Structure 1
Amino acid sequence: MKTRLLAAVCATAGTAMLASCATNEEAALEEAESDTVIVTAQKAQGPQPGAMAYSSLARPMMAPPPEPAITEQYEETDPNPVKLTSEEPVSTFSSDVDTTAYSVMRRYISSDNRLPPSDSVRVEEYVNYFDYQYTAPKSADAPFTPTIWVTPSPWNAGTRLMHIGVKGFDLQPEKTPDANIVLLLDVSGSMMADNKLPLVKKSVELLVEEMSRDDRISIVVYAGAAGVVLEPTPGNKKTKIMEALNALEAGGSTAGGEGLSLAYKLAEENFADDKVNRIILATDGDFNVGVVDADSLEDFVARKRKSGIYLTVLGFGEGNYNDVIAQKLAQAGNGVAAYIDTLNEARKVLVREFRSTLFPIAKDLKFQVEFNPAVVAEYRLIGYETRLLNREDFNNDAIDAGDIGSGHTVTALYELALVGSEARLIDDRRYAAAPAAAGNMDEFAFVRLRYKLPAEEDSRLIETPVPTADAFSSLGAAPQDARFAAAVAAFGQKLQRAGYTDRYAYEEIVDLANNAKGEDPYGDRAEFINLVRAAAKIDKEKS
C-alpha cells in the first residue's frame, strides 16, 4: 500500500516535489490522505512532467482507478411560482447580466454529452447570453431606454409573454476610460487540467492584446499562499506581461480568501480616480485553505465594494467547479460572472464584449413591475430566482443590485394569464371579497427601473406604462428578437424541469429559433439551435 500511494503522489506532483519524492518517501506519503483523493487529483490534473520516472514504483497488477466523484456546486433553487395579481400585484428583482449558466450548459451538452443539472440552470442567463437590438439610449447620463413587447406565448396558447429589455449606453472606444486591472489567478493543484490554468493563460493573452499604454495590469496568484508576480505594468508592455503569465504553474492547495485580500490590497494601493479599477478573478472556485466559506468570502467582498473596485469572476474547469462561490463573489463585488469553457467563449467575453466586461455605465439596476389586476389575472417571472428583491428594496438605495457594462443588454420575461383566460392556474377563492368594478383596461402593467450612475450614490428612476393597445396579436408579427428570446427561455425552462414547457417539444424550439435567428455575425444563435438539437437527442436516449 505504501509503494502504491507514493507512486500516485509522485505522479501528480510538480517538478519541485519530485525530488522530495525520490529522497523522502515517508514525507510524500503524508500528503496522501486517501486513495480517492489521489485518484481524483490524477484525473483532474492530468499527467505531469516526470511522472513516468516513478512508474516502476507502482505494483504491476494495479486495478484501474475509479472515476472521480463530481463535486460541482450549484445553489439549489426552485422555479418562480405563479402569482395572483389581486393578492401580489408587484414584482421586484435585480438585473443580471451574468452568462455563466449558459456556458456551463454548453459544456455539459457539447463535451459531456449529458444535460446540465437543473440547479445549474438560470434561465435569465440563457436569455441574456445573446445581444438584442433594443432602443439605444442617447446619453451616458440617461443610459437606459426600456423596450417592452407583449406577445402570445409560444408554449401556451392561453397566455402572453411580456418582454422587458434595456440596452446600456455603448461607450465609444475613444471615450472609454483607461483600465487598472488586477488579475487574480488561481494556480492551485486543482487548476492543472487543460481547461483550467492553460485556458486561463490563453484567455488572459486575449485580454492583454486589448490593453493600451495608458492601461495598467498586475498579476496576483494564490495556491497554498498568495503573492504578487507582476507589479502594475503598462498595457503595452505585452512581452513582460506574458512572460510573467507563462511562467505560472499549478500546484498546492487553494487559499482563495488570502488571494482576494492581497488583490484588493494591491488594487487599493494603485487606485486611480480617472481609471476603471477592476479585479478579474480566474478560478474553479475550489477554495480549501483559510477562509473557504462562501458567505464569509461574500461578506469580505461586499465590504470592499465601497472602495470603487469592481470584481469580475471568470469560472474555469469541470468536476469540482464551485458556481456558488463564483456567483456570490461577483454579485457582492459590483461585477459580473462568466464561465469560460472554450477559447471562443474567452474571445466573446474579453474581446468582443471587452467594453461591457470592463467599463460600467450604471450600477444597482433594479426592476419593479406593477401588474394591473383588471387585465392580468396571474403572472410568473421567468428566471431571476436568485435575484428577487423585497418590494421595499426597490426604493432603498442601500440595497445592492446588478451592474451594467457599456452596451450590455438585459432582458426579463413574464408569462401572463389575462382575466378570463382558461389558462389560469389558480382558482378563485370561495371566500374572497366581491371583485371591484373594472379599473383601467388600457394597461397591462407599469414598469419602473432604478439605477445609479457609476460615480453617484443616489438612484435615478425611469417609469413607463405597458399599453394593451401595443400588444402583438400573433407571435409571427412580433420582432425577431422577441421570438428568439422566447425560444431561449423555453429551452432554459425545459432544462430547469420547471414543468411549464413540458409539452413544448425541442423541435418546436428549434423551429422558433430558426425563424427568428436574423443576423448572426458570430454564429451564437446557430450554436444555440445546435445545442437544442443535441439536448433533444440526449433526452431521447435517456428515455
Structure 2
Amino acid sequence: MDDDLKRFRQAMDETTPEPSAKRRAENLDAALKKFDLSQGLEDPARLTQDRAPQARGFLRGLKKMITGFKNPISLAATSSLAVASVAAFAVLPNVNWNPAPPLPAPVSDFQGRALESDVADLAVTQELEAAPVATPLPSREEAATARIKRAPVVQQSQPQHTESIGAGAAYPEADTEAYSNDVANRVVATSENSVSTFSIDVDTASYSLIRSSLTNGRVPPADAVRVEEMINYFPYDYAPPVGENVPFSTSVAVFATPWNSGTQLMRIGLQGKMPLTEDRPPLNLVFLIDTSGSMEAANKLPLLIQAFGLMLRSLDPLDEVAIVTYAGSAGEVLAPTPAGERDKIMAALQNLSAGGSTAGQAGLQQAYAVAEKMTQDGEVNRVILATDGDFNVGISDPEALKEFIAEKSRTETYLSVLGFGRGNLDDRVMQTLAQNGNGHAAYIDTLAEAQKVLNDQLSGALFPIANDVKVQVEFNPAMISEYRLIGYETRILARADFNNDAVDAGEVGAGHQVTAVYEITPVGSPATLNDPLRYGAETPVENPNRDEIAFVKLRYKVPGEAESRLLEMPVAPSLATPDQDGRFAAAIAGFGQLLRGSSHMGDWGYQEAIDLANGAKGNDPFGYRAEAITLMRLAKTLTEN
C-alpha cells in the first residue's frame, strides 16, 4: 500500500506544472484592474462603497504577499490561502456586492481593431473572473479611457433619453476649455480717431456659459465673458420697422452712466422685422450632431436630443430635416425627411449614442454636401451643428476652420452652432464657425434654454432677413472727447471694411434684436482720461454740426443680393431719462464688466448692479430678468472675501 501511494504521488508530481509566481501576479493585476474599473477610480466621485478602498487594498496586499515568496514550495502553500481569501473577500460585511456579469466582447477602436488590453483581460483565470465587483459598473468607453487613454471606442447602443436635464448639473473641472475673446476695448480720444466700426452680433452663448458657471458655484473665466452677448440675451421694447422693404428699425438713446457721473451711455438698438408665418420660405435643415466620446455626459447628447425634439414641434410639416453625425468618421443617419414625420425623426435622434474621436471637418463636409442636395430656389438652407467644440480629427485650428467655413458660406447655406456641456468646451471653435458661417452661436445648458433658442425664437434663429450687417459710428469731436465701445471685442472692423462688401459681418434673423452700448465722455467733462497733447494741434474743433454728438451708419445685404444697402441717422445731444429697458441694459453691461474685472467701474459693484436691475425688471413674462438678478447675487457672494 505504501509503495502504491508513493508511485501515485510521484505520478502527480510529474504531471503537475510548477507554480508560477509571474502568472499569479498577472492574474491579480487583471483582477485589480477590473476592481479599479468597477469602482470608477478614475473618478473619485464614484467611490460610493465605504469598504471599496479596504477591499482594493486587500487585493494589493495579496499580490505583494504572493510575489514576495521566493520558492515554489512557499508559493504553493499560499495557493489555497489566496483562493480562500478571495472567497472571504466576497462576503465582507457592509458592502453591497453583486455577482459579476459575463465578460463582454473586447472593445475595438474606431477602425475595428481589438484593444490589446481587452484581449489580456479575457485571459484572466476563471476563479478571478468570478470575483464579485461593485456597482455601478463603468461603461465600455470609461473602461477604455481608464486603460491609460487608449484608442477611442466604437458607438454603443443607449436607452432613449426622456428626462429633463437640470440647470445645476455638475461638470468636470474646466481645465481644457478655451474661449474666444480679446482685450477689452480701450477708451479712444475722439480727436485721434473719431470713427468706430464693428459687425453686429446676435449670439447669446456667453450669457448661458456664465449662468452655467455661476449656478455651479464658480465665477466664470474672464475670457468667457462677452458683454455684448449678455446684453443681447434679453428682449427689449424697440419700435418695429416701418416700410415694406426695410428689414429692421434703428433707435438711439443717450442717458447717464450709472458707474461714472462724468460720462454717458449711448445705446443703439436694431429691431428686425417679423414676417407673417405663412410668408416665410420653406426650410431645409441638416442637424450635424457630434456623437464623439466626449458627448456622452447627460448635459451633452441626451440634452441635445431633447432640444431638437422641442425644435421639431415648431417646424412646418413641409420643412425638411436630415441628420448627419460625426465621431471617428461622418455619415448620414437620416436622409432628408419632411418635418411632419416627427416620429421618424425622433426615432433617428433617440437611436444616437456617443463614442469615438471627433472628426469635425468630415462632419461639416458631409453636412454641407447633404444641404446642397436639398437646395431649391426660394428655400432657406441651414446646417445646425451641435457639439462641445472638441474637434480633434481633421481641421481643429480656429484659423484653418475660419478659411474652410468662409469658403462654404458662399454656397448660401447658413451655419448655426449650439454648444453643449462643460469641461472640454471649445468656445473658440464655436465662435469661429458661427461668425464665419453666416450664422449665430448659442450655448444650451438647460432644456429651458433650448425652449428659448429653438422654439420661442425659432424664426430669428433660422430665417435671415439681413446679411453682413455692419455698424459705423462717427463721433463729433466738438461734442465728445472720448468714447469706448462696451463689448464686441471679437467683432471690431477696420474703418475701410464698412464700405467693402467683400468683408463678412453678422446676420440678423426675423424678429431679432441687436443692442450696442458706448460709454461716451462729453467735451469738458472732468471724467476725461486723455490729457491734451503737448505737441499736437489742440485747437478748438470747428464743426458746424454742434446739434449732433454722433452720426450712425448701417450697411446690410438683402439675402441673395451681393451689393449692400446703407442706412444713416444723426444722434442729437439730448440727455434723456432712461426707460426700464435702458436701465436694465446698463445693469447687464455693468454686470458683464465686473465679471471681466474692468478698470472702468470705480466703486460701483455687484450690489449696485443688483439694485439697478431690480428697479428695471418691468414686464418679465419668462423670468429672464429675474434670473439675471439671481446670477448677480451669486456672483456677489462668490467674489466676496
The question of a shared fold, defined as TM-score above 0.5 by the shorter chain, is answered with: yes
Give the letter aligned to residue 407 of structure 2. R
SS at match of 1:537: helix
Q: 1:290 is matched with which residue: 365, 379, 394? A: 394
1:249-302: CA deviations, max 9, x gaps? 101111011000000000011112222100000000111112222222221111
Q: Distance in 2 between matches of 1:345 and 1:303?
A: 31
For 1:190-229, what per-residue CA distance to the aligned partner results, in whole angstroms no more than 9, with x for missing partners? Answer: 0000000000000000011112221000000001011101
**SS at 1:273 equivalent:** coil
Q: Distance in 1 between matches of 2:157 and 2:290?
A: 20
Q: CA deviation at 1:140?
A: 5.7
> What is the aligned counterpart of 1:379 among 483, 494, 502?
483
Q: Deviations over 1:170-200 (max 9, x none)?
A: 1221211121000000001000000000000
Matched residue, 2:260: 156
Per-residue CA distance 1:140-185 (angstroms, 9 max, x = gap): 6211221100101000000000110010111221211121000000
1:38 maps to which residue? 146
What's 1:96 paired with?
Answer: 201
Q: Does 1:523 align with 2:623?
A: yes
**C-alpha contact (below 8 Å) 1:155/1:501 kept by paired residues:** yes
Q: Distance in 2 between matches of 1:409 and 1:293?
A: 31
Amino acid at match of 2:210: M
Describe the SS at the equivalent of 1:145.
strand
Evaluate the alpha carbon distance shift between residue 18 and residue 272 of structure 1 in structure 2; reply closer, same or farther with a 3 A threshold: farther
User: Of residues 132, 153, 173 in structure 1, which corresponds to 2:236?
Assistant: 132
Q: 1:268 to 1:24 in 2, by over 3 A?
A: closer
Q: 1:357 to 1:29 in 2, by over 3 A?
A: farther
Residues 539 and 142 from structure 1, CA distance in 2 versus in 1: closer, same or farther, beyond 3 angstroms?
same
Larger radius of gyration between Structure 1 and Structure 2: 2
Q: Is the 8 A contact 2:273 2:511 kept in 1?
A: yes
**1:480 to 1:39, Cα distance in 2 relative to 1, 3 A:** farther
Alignment of 1:315-334 (within 5 A): 315-334=419-438
- For the residue of structure 2 that corresponds to 1:115, the secondary structure is coil
Matched, 1:359 2:467: no
2:639 corresponds to 1:539: yes
Q: Match of 2:583?
A: 483
Q: CA distance change for structure 1 residues 244 and 161 in 2, over 3 Å: closer, same or farther? A: same
Q: Give the conservation status (yes or no) of the 8 Å contact 2:617–2:626.
A: yes
SS at match of 1:20: coil
SS in 1 for 2:248: coil
CA contact (8 A) 2:180 2:431 kept: no
Rounded Cα–Cα distance in structure 2 between residues aligned with 1:336 and 1:30: 48
Q: Is the 8 A contact 1:140 1:169 kept in 2?
A: no
Contact 2:200 2:470 in 1 (8 A): yes
Aligned residue-pair number: 512
| Cα distance in 1 for residues equivalent to 2:148 and 2:228 | 33
Inter-CA distance 420–41: structure 2 relative to 1 (3 Å threshold): farther
* Amino acid of the structure 1 residue aligned with 2:551: F
Whether 1:338 aligns to 2:460 is: no
CA shift, 1:139, in A, is 4.2
Task: Tell me the TM-score normalised to structure 2 length.
Answer: 0.76
1:500 matches 2:586: no
**1:172 is aligned to 2:276:** yes
The equivalent of 1:461 in structure 2 is: 566
Indicate the larger mover: 372-381 or 438-447. Answer: 438-447
Report the equivalent of 1:452.
557
Amino acid in the other structure paired with 1:328: T
Question: Conserved in 2, the CA contact under 8 Å of 1:21 and 1:27?
Answer: no
Q: What is the Cα deviation at residue 84 of structure 1? A: 0.3
Q: Matches of 1:8 and 1:260 in 2, distance apart?
A: 38
- Cα contact 1:298–1:328 (8 A) shared by 2: yes
Deviation for aligned residue 1:442: 1.1
> Which of residues 434, 443, 446 in structure 1 aligns to 2:548?
443
Task: Please tell me the residue identity of whatever aligns with 2:199.
Answer: S
Give the SS at the match of 1:462: strand
| Cα distance in 1 between the residues matched to 2:186 and 2:30 | 56
* Partner residue in 2 for 1:20: 106
Q: 1:49, CA displacement in angstroms?
A: 9.1
Cα 1:185–1:35, aligned 2, differ >3 Å: closer, same or farther?
A: closer
**Residue in structure 1 matched with residue 82 of structure 2 by the alignment:** none
1:442-461 per-position Cα deviation (integer Å, ceiling 9, x unaligned): 11100000001112111000
Structure 1 letter corresponding to 2:559: P
**Could you tell me the percent identity over the aligned residues?**
49
The equivalent of 2:530 in structure 1 is 426
CA distance in 1, matches of 2:611, 2:249: 30
Instruction: Give 2:549's aligned amino acid.
Output: F
1:7-35 CA distances to partner (integer Å, 9 max, x unpaired)?
777979xx9x9411599672548999999
For the Cα contact (< 8 Å) 1:219–1:228, is it kept in 2? yes
- CA, structure 1 residues 394+2, in 2 after alignment: closer, same or farther (shift >3 Å)? farther
2:192 paired with 1:87: yes
Please, what TM-score do these two structures have when normalized by structure 1?
Answer: 0.89
How far off its partner does 1:38 sit? 3.4
1:55 aligned partner: none
How far residue 103 of structure 1 moved from its aligned partner, in angstroms, is 0.2
- 1:441 shift after superposition: 1.9
The 1-side partners of 2:193 and 2:308 are apart by 47
Measure the CA separation in 1 of the matches of 2:338 and 2:332.
16
Structure 2 residue 294 is the aligned partner of structure 1 residue 190: yes
Q: Which residue of 1 aligns with 2:321?
A: 217
What 5-or-longer segments of structure 2 have no aligned partner?
1-28, 43-100, 122-139, 159-171
